[in-house]
Structures are given as structure tokens and as C-alpha cells.
Chain A
Amino acid sequence: MRIVAAGALLIGAGWVGAAAPDQPSVGTRYPATSPHSEPVALRVESFTVPPSSQPLVFVVAKNLQNVPYQGTLTIKAPEGWRLAPLERQFALKPGETRRVPFTIERGSSVQCNSYPVEVSATGAGATVVRRQDVVCASAPYFNPTIDGDPSEWKDAIPVTFTSGGRKTIISTYWNRRQFSILVAVEEQELIRYRAGPTPEPFDAVQIALSPPDTQTGNSPDDQATRFEFLFVAAGTAGTARAPTRSVGRPWSAGRCFQLASPGMKLAEAAKERRLEPLQCEKATVAVSRTATVTYYECGIPFSLMGGQIRPSEGREFCLSVLVHDPDGTGIRDWGQAAGLWPWQRNPLAWSRFPGAKWGENPPFDNKLPWGLCSSIY
């Protein structure tokens, strides 16, 4: 029996050189298995409602072998929690990925929104262990004023991750008409977007929202399944298009560009396109700044998503976020912080645009679970 502690290995630098077997990039073929030798890969998905509401927690397991896998899955939750069942038998065909649910019968939410869990699978002569800090990725119901003022976001559920020593905090709200997001980016300086034939690198937040149960295609000819937006700081204070009130802090009008919609060819979305024709007037963006933090506050009408994401309590969808910090950390990727496997990087998952400074490797896939909940109270 081998014990393989897979925890940090899977999300650290050890992945470099591996890539997505299920999701080949343009012109690149990836190896069929992970470079690691464990029989299964494991990860735990984010909760989509607060743990005190006793949701399901899903463990995702992938058989990395060319033979069937049979094993026992156990999950260790934070102290004081009770999960049921204590263990689950599961079987996977070669290469198969499956979500295995456990019920949180007793759980508690914490303000830092980070929950250490340990999941292990015993089978095929090995025990694979993965430790993760799982978050609750969920938007409470609220209708914020989009003005760059973060004070209205205290009842959101902040998702915090650190890249290159800098923090990013994603907070979300929803109401019947609009999905709202506040991304707080710790960075040295804010570089604004300036339209032009060859834009210089600029700071931005890129998000992808997708209906539940969708996947990013494997081929450039496949169709996109995401609504993708880019938020940037533009203009100067007082020139806002939409922000409605000043809050005594430097803020500027933001701009939103819609980069992709379901039905687009993935190859088209992945091609670098000029931003100006992609301006999305219906979305509202305000960008404000404190000494070291830039706040991107954005409202996206659900009507832009054609009913494919239903604004209703308890509904799930997919959301991922890239932060562009070209003069600092480079790309910050929620997919990486959420523990996607190294081979789930996928250049077809995100659109390209002039002025972006991409890393050596493509970002991770954009299909991360997110929920619409009612309240933290």
C-alpha cells in the first residue's frame, strides 16, 4: 500500500509541462494522463450555499489509469462538522471522472470563508490523499448600487485567494434582474485601459459565467458555452457613465466588454480581437481605488444571458475569474486557486484581447461551481 499525499502537488508548480488531456489547445496535444503516478486524482468542489445550510459537498475523482478503478472515498471535514456517509465505495472506468456527493449534516460557516478538508481514496493498492481549503462560492440576494463603494458588500460571502503574494477577493450578489460582482485586487498601481490601435498592457478583470452542467469544448470548432466579460478602469473621476453617487473615494467609470457568448466558435473567441466593438452598454462598471486595492464593481443584467442562467434561490451555475495585473503578479486565476487539476488548463476557455499579458501557460478552465443563495443570516 502506498500513501500519496497529493495536496499541494496538484496545484503547485509541479504541473508545468502537463496539460489537459480532455481539452487539447489550439495546435497542442497533451499527454493522456497526469505526470503523477497515483491511480486517481481528487479534488473537492466549492460549496454553493453556506455550510451551515447543510449542503452537499462534491468530491471529484478521476481515474488516471488505463484500467478500471475501484476504491473507497472518505472525507475529513473541519472539526465539529458531521458528514454522511462516512465513506463511499466508488468505481471508475479508465479515464472516467465522477462527482461523488457527501451530505454535510452539521457544518458551520466562518467569516474567512475557508474550510480545510482532506479527502482520500483507497484502491488499486494505494491511498491518495488530497488536502484543500474549500470555500463557499455563493452569491447572496442583494441589489448594490454600482458606484465603486465596497461598503455595501459586507453581507456577501468573500472568496479570497492569493497569487504572487497579492490578495484577490471575489464577492457576488444577485437579484432578479442583475448579477453583481465586486473584485478587490491588491496591487501596487492601477493601470487604466486606453483605447487605441495598439493598447499598452492594462489592469482588468475577466469573468466567465456559464449555465450549469456545461463544459468547455475540446476542439476549436466547438461552440462556446460561456458568457464572458472584461471589466476595465477607464476615464477619470466624475466621468462615469453609470455610477450614481460619489462615495468620497477616487473612482472612475469602468467599461465592460462582452468577449464571448454561447454558440460562438471557440477558435473565434480565442483569437485576439479589438475590444472597442465589443463594448457592452447594458453592464454597469465602477472602479475605485484605495492605497493598495483596486475595486471593480460590476452589474450584469441577467437579460444579457438570455435566460440560460436563472436568477432563483438555490440555482447553481459556473463562474470563474481572471485578474490581469500585468505590472505585478501577472494573471491571477480562480481556477488555479480553487484546485483544478493541472491538466485542466485550457486556452480555449478564455478570450484573448490586445493589451493582455498572458503567462507562459494557458489559464485554467472556467467551469467552477457557484451558487445563488438567499442570505448569510
Chain B
Amino acid sequence: MIREHIHPLMPWTLALTAAVAGLALASGRLVAADDAWSTPPATPKGNVVIKTVMAVDEEEQPQAAGKAAAEALRKAMGGVPLKAVIVSECFEDKQAKLKLLEGIASVLPTEILLGGATYGSFTQAGCSDLDSVSLLGIGGEGVSVAAALVTDLGTSKLVFEEHQPEIERRLHAAGAKLAGKLRTTKLDRLLILIPDAHSPKNQFIVEGVQQVVGGQFPITGGCVNKNAGQTFVYFRGRPYEDSAVALMLSGDLKVSLAGRQAKENDQVISTAREAAAEAATKLKTRPIAALAFDCAGRKGRLKNVADELAAVQQAIGQELPLFGCYCAGEIGPLDTTEKKPGVLSGGGGWHVMFTLIGQ
């Protein structure tokens, strides 16, 4: 049985949605190369629609799970064409992952699918781990997106202790290259980074990106699952190893970021609540969506995994679309003594990196 978790307040939409989205893309509105693409500039004061869905595959039918999730997202968008879809999936092997992508792509345009393998996801509807997929859909004329891929990082099989200088050099270069591929606009607001760079390697790719976008630019994201045979990032609906993807959100948006670190049950719960509350306090406008890139290690410390989600809900309520995933390293405001002054985001472990997007 495929269980779909859809936020109860999400509007259901017309079956025409996918066709509309597909037409928009097919008619040349997407400016694309193999390793980068972008949508037309955002319309000032245009609406922005961000929705999340999650599907749990209880029948070992990843393709059906992907299709179900994609259909649910299409409906949740309420007729608004999708500009980008971030995939967080936790399936066992490459074959299952490819089937999942096929299922998603049977409903949604392949070109706008990006994301990565994670250790599970959470939305307002609950938490999941194995055999689950969560989708974050972004649409509306008020938002524009630009996405890029960088491959052959050359670091996925390097051990930090033995190869730190090489890892640093390669990931600095890769981060800068990735950010350099993104179309830039004056309305750029948030960069979501999804690399194959297990903590503590992730700090270096963030620093590379910051060489281009600056230290104060809001960056969040999470590193993909490092389990053997499961390490993939996705770009244009295809899997890549030893790679990184980035998605820039632009428009009349406001974002607020907060990060907290914890390694024990009670602290994991309380820090999740604190991070969400801090982001909510700092936003100063109406939130339209929340992102939570969370550490799989934190999840492992929870006696009851749902407790962390409940803590987040205490801070942001149960209605705001929430896209959460469990990662192998998190990107956002570090909660450590090594935090660099004047730099907003970094890469670390054991964090929940919480972002609110408002309009």
C-alpha cells in the first residue's frame, strides 16, 4: 500500500496542472543546459506557492510510490505550474531509486526534478525513513528558480583525516564552480545546496559557494545519504554520484535561517523547537513554507522520532508546508564555537538547519 501524506489544508487541483506545467516548460520558458537551468524572472508581488507531500512505499513498489507522490504534489499545487521540485528519497538501492524517479517523472516534468538520497523525510504529516519519498514543489509567478549541477567532485572516497588539504581544494573549487553556473538576479534570496559531502567535508563546499555569493548570503541544505550504494544527488531527474546540486530561489521573498546542534534526545527535541522559533521570530512577515535540513545522527538519538517534529510544530504550527529531511551533514547557520564571524552559513553535523520562507 502506498500511503500518501498530504497536508489537510492543501487545495486539491485540476488534473490539468501537469499539462499546464509541461506546456510552460515545453514552450521554451525554461532556459536550460545540461548542467544548469533557470526559469524566467519573478514577477514583483506575484504569488508564490510552495507545497510538500510525502509517500511511504509499503509494498516495495518504488515506481508507484513516486507516481503517487508526484500526483499528490500536482494536486496540492492547486493548478499552479511547478518551477522546481526537490526530491528527498530513502530507498535501498539504485534500482529502486531509478524506479522511483521514473514514477515521479511519469507525472511531473523530468527537467525540474532535483534533490538527493536522504535518510528519510518529514512533513507536517509525519516522519518516515526507509522506502519513502518527499517532494517539495515550488511554483508561482512570484518566484524564479535557477539550478545547477557540478559532477566529479573527486572527494566521495577520500577520508577527511588523510586527505583534508585535497578535499578542501577540490570542494572549494567545486562550490565556486557550482555557484558560478547559477543565473544571478537582484532578487536572489536563498540558495539550497545538496552535495555529496558528508560532514565535515561540507564546510568546504559551502566556502566554495561563498566565494561567489558572499559570506552573508543565505545558504541552507543537506548532504546526501552516505550509505554504500545509496549516495546520489539528482538533477534533471537523473542520478549522479560524487556530485552536488544547487537551487537558487529568487523573488519578493524573505527568508530567515536558524541552526542548532544537539547530540542527545532531550537536546535534539529542544533545539529543534528553538531553531524553528528563532526563524519564526526573525522572519517579520507571513511565512509560506519551512525547510528543515536535519541530521540523521540526531534522528538516531531520538527515543521517539516524532518528538522532534512535534517540537517544531510547537513553534510553527501544523499548517505551514514543511519540508524536512535527514541528512549526512547540514548547511546553514552553525551552532558551534568555530562559527566564523560575519559569515551566515557553514557546513556541519548534528544540526537542524531551519529556514522559513515568507512573502
Contact = CB atoms under 8 A, between A and B. Distances in A.
Interface in B66-106: 92
Given A101-B264, A376-B159, A377-B198, A313 B299 contact: yes
* Interface secondary structure of A, over-half rule: loop
A164 B338 CA distance: 44
Contacts of B270: none
Interface string A69-90: 0000000000000001000000
A313 B200 contact: no
B161 interface: yes
A372 B160 contact: no
Contacts of A372: 300
B22 to A, nearest CB: 36
Contacts of B238: none
B200 A52 contact: yes
A11 to B, nearest CB: 27
Interface in B342-359: 349-350
Interface residues of A, number: 32
A140 B198 CA distance: 14
Contacts of B129: 312
Interface string B129-157: 11000000000000000000000000011
B100 to A, nearest CB: 16
Contact of A377 (B158, B225, B263): B158
B157 A314 contact: no
B264 A84 contact: no
Nearest to A56: B263
Contacts of B156: 377
A314 B301 contact: yes
A109 interface: yes
A374 B160 contact: no
A66 interface: no
Given A105-B337, A313-B119, A375-B228, A54 B300 contact: no
Given A374-B296, A375-B228, A108 B161 contact: yes
15 contacts: A49-B297, A53-B297, A53-B349, A84-B337, A101-B263, A103-B263, A108-B161, A109-B161, A175-B227, A176-B130, A312-B129, A313-B299, A316-B300, A374-B119, A377-B157
Contacts of B230: 141
A310 B126 CA distance: 19
A375 B350 CA distance: 15
A356 B277 CA distance: 59
Nearest to A316: B300
Interface in B227-241: 227-230
Nearest to B295: A314
Interface in B155-170: 156-162
Contacts of A56: 263-264
A312 B129 CA distance: 9
- Of B119, B263, B297, B349, which is in contact with the most chain A CB atoms at under 10 Å from its CB? B297
B285 interface: no
B65 interface: no
A316 B300 CA distance: 8
A155 interface: yes
Interface string A89-114: 00000000000010101101111000
Contacts of A194: none
A254 to B, nearest CB: 24
A315 interface: yes
B271 interface: no
Contact of B300 (A110, A111, A141, A314): A314
Interface of B: 92, 119, 129-130, 156-162, 198-200, 225-230, 263-264, 296-301, 326, 328, 336-338, 349-350
B130 A109 contact: no
A55 interface: yes
A377 B301 contact: no
A77 B198 CA distance: 23
Closest 5 CB pairs of A and B: A314-B300, A141-B227, A375-B226, A314-B297, A374-B226
Contact of B159 (A109, A140, A143, A374): A109
A142 interface: yes
B88 to A, nearest CB: 15
A54 B330 CA distance: 13
A313 B300 contact: yes
A324 B223 CA distance: 43
B161 A313 contact: no
Contacts of A52: 160-161, 200
B338 A314 contact: no
A374 to B, nearest CB: 4
B297 A140 contact: no
Interface in A207-232: none
B7 to A, nearest CB: 25
B161 A374 contact: no
Contacts of B162: 111
Contacts of A312: 119, 129, 299-300
Contacts of A376: 159
B227 A110 contact: no
B200 A54 contact: yes
A315 B350 contact: no
Given A54-B200, A313-B119, A377 B226 contact: yes
Contacts of A143: 228-229
A109 B160 contact: yes
Given A314-B298, A375-B328, A377-B158, 18 more contacts: A53-B200, A55-B263, A56-B263, A84-B337, A105-B338, A109-B161, A141-B227, A176-B130, A312-B299, A314-B296, A314-B297, A314-B301, A316-B300, A374-B225, A374-B227, A377-B156, A377-B157, A377-B198
